Chains A and B, each alone.
Chain A
Amino acid sequence: GAVVSQHPSRVICKSGTSVKIECRSLDFQATTMFWYRQFPKQSLMLMATSNEGSKATYEQGVEKDKFLINHASLTLSTLTVTSAHPEDSSFYICSAPGRAPNVLTFGAGSRLTVL
C-alpha cells in the first residue's frame, strides 16, 4: 500500500514552453504532498509543500511563479514548470505521507530535459 505515481517519467521540451508533472497517491489520500528537485549526482532539495485546497508553501529561493503547484484533490498534485529553460532540466520527485507514521512515500520521479 501507499503508492505514489508520477507522470510523465521523462519529458523533453523546448525552451520557453511549459511542462506539467502529475503526482498521484493511488491508494490513499494525501492532504499534503512535497516536491523535491534533484540535480545529477546531487541530493534532493525540497522545493515546496503542496496543500490540498490552499496555496503551496515554497522554500526560500524557489520562484513560485516559475514552479506552479496545484493540489486540487486529495489524490493529485501537479507541478507546472513555466517558460522552461535549460537550467530547469532536472529530476523532479514528489512525495506524500503514507500509511506508516512519520514516513514519506516517494514517487519514481520525472526527468525533465529542456532543449
Chain B
Amino acid sequence: AQSVTQLGSHVSVSEGALVLLRCNYSSSVPPYLFWYVQYPNQGLQLLLKYTSAATLVKGINGFEAEFKKSETSFHLTKPSAHMSDAAEYFCAVSDPSNTGKLIFGQGTTLQVKP
C-alpha cells in the first residue's frame, strides 16, 4: 500500500523568499514520486518526477525536490518565490509497476505575498 502526506495545507511566503513544501510518503516498494501544480479550475501540470535515478530532481519553473529514502521524504523547494507560483501543489506516489495509478497527497496551497 502507498500513501502520501503533505505537511501544511497552507504555506505563505513573501516574494523572493525560499519556498519549501513538505511531502512524506509510505510505500511497500521503491516508489516513483511526483510533484504537480494546479491553478484554479485547471488540471494538473507536472513540475518534476523521481523515478529512481538521481535523488535531486530539477523541474520546471525553478523548482527542485530531493528524494531522501532514510526520511521517506520528497520535499519541494524553490530558492526565490514569484507571485506566479501561487497555486495548489500536490505530491503523488505511484508503484513503478503501475505508474498510471497515482496516489495524491492532500495538497498544499502556496500563497505568495508581495
The interface of chain A, by Cβ under 8 A from chain B, is: 4, 6, 9, 32, 34, 41-46, 49, 91, 93, 95, 97, 101-104, 106-109, 111
Contact = CB atoms under 8 A, between A and B. Distances in A.
Range, interface on chain B: 20 to 34
Nearest to B36: A106
Contacts of A6: 43
Contact of B44 (A42, A45, A93, A102): A93
B43 A32 contact: no
B103 to A, nearest CB: 8
B104 interface: yes
Nearest to A108: B43
A32 B44 contact: no
Contacts of A104: 46, 99-100, 102
B106 interface: yes
Contacts of A41: 107
Given A102-B49, A109-B41, A43 B107 contact: yes
